[in-house]
Structure 1
Amino acid sequence: MNITTINPWQWQNNFGYAQAVEIKNNQGTLYCSGQAAMDADGNPVGGNMAEQLQLSLQNLEQVIQQAGYQPGNIVRLNFYTTSIPDFFAAYGSIVSWLQSHQVAPSSTLVQVTALAFPELAVEIEATVVR
């Protein structure tokens, strides 16, 4: 597999993502549904944005690994949140997680009025290649 990052600018590097990611010769693609702060029984877990981001990332990592992929091969990471200010206040945990996996995927952040459960403040979906 050959992964090429396309960044015409440098400012996005501070946020841990790329403007575009090209993949050639991959052996598979995993499209992950949005992962949120849910427990193993499918119940939403409240808490502040930082806590929800942490659990959402743990859940995403579990799905990726269960499928036999690696978080370091995430090529797209989209975030849906009910509060962009709260999201950016906790964004350091995302940058740390991305750095720990040595990945800078393409990414989009969208503020929504609600997620599947009223307790949820963030949901993360990913595309991973092999």
Structure 2
Amino acid sequence: MEKVVINSQGAPAAIGPYSQAIQIGTTLYSSGQIGLDPVSGELVSGFEQQVHRAFQNLQAVIEQAGGSMAQVVKFTLFLTDLSQFGVVNSIMQTYVPQPYPARSTVGVASLPRGALFEVEAIAVI
């Protein structure tokens, strides 16, 4: 099967040698999205704002592939502070309808550009 590179202007350009997402058949594999503003390329300030921006960036990539957040089957979340887990849950529910996808959450020491949160997804479109 052919690998299709997905790039959205609604999400920040890749900051390394990777694609925003790769689609193979009906399956979309996203790279991680952090809270970078897609216009300025700067990290937004504040934990909640970073979570919102990261989900908005991810949503833009999925929509560029012709999908929606409802088609996500697996999220992986990365937090530098696991005590913020409840905040992420609340925000995630504003972007993702039920039934919720599978999910893993990983506590990490640091993330690119000093981000506090990162999200990646697998979607079936």
The TM-score, its normalising length taken from structure 1, stands at 0.70
Larger Rg: 1
Which SS does the other structure have where 1:47 is aligned? coil
- RMSD of equivalent CA atoms: 1.7
What is the identity, as a one-letter code, of the residue corresponding to 1:124? Answer: V
Q: Which whole-Å CA distance do the structure 1 matches of 2:85 and 2:42 have between them?
A: 18
- Which 4+ runs in 1 deviate beyond 6 A? none
| Higher RCO, 1 vs 2 (CA within 8 Å, ≥6 residues apart) | 1
Q: How many residues align?
A: 101
The answer for the alignment partner of 2:65 in structure 1 is: 67
The answer for the alignment partner of 1:49 in structure 2 is: 47
Equivalent position to 2:109, from 107, 113, 118: 113
What is the identity, as a one-letter code, of the residue corresponding to 1:56? Answer: A
Which SS does the other structure have where 2:112 is aligned? coil
Unaligned runs of 5+ in 1: 1-26
Q: Which whole-Å CA distance do the structure 2 matches of 1:87 and 1:52 have between them?
A: 14
The answer for the alignment partner of 1:94 in structure 2 is: 92
Q: Which whole-Å CA distance do the structure 2 matches of 1:84 and 1:43 have between them?
A: 26
Unaligned runs of 5+ in 2: 1-24
Q: Which whole-Å CA distance do the structure 2 matches of 1:58 and 1:50 have between them?
A: 12
Q: Identify if the C-alpha distance between structure 1 residues 103 and 55 changes in structure 2 by more than 3 Å, giving closer, same or farther.
A: farther
What is the identity, as a one-letter code, of the residue corresponding to 1:61? Answer: Q
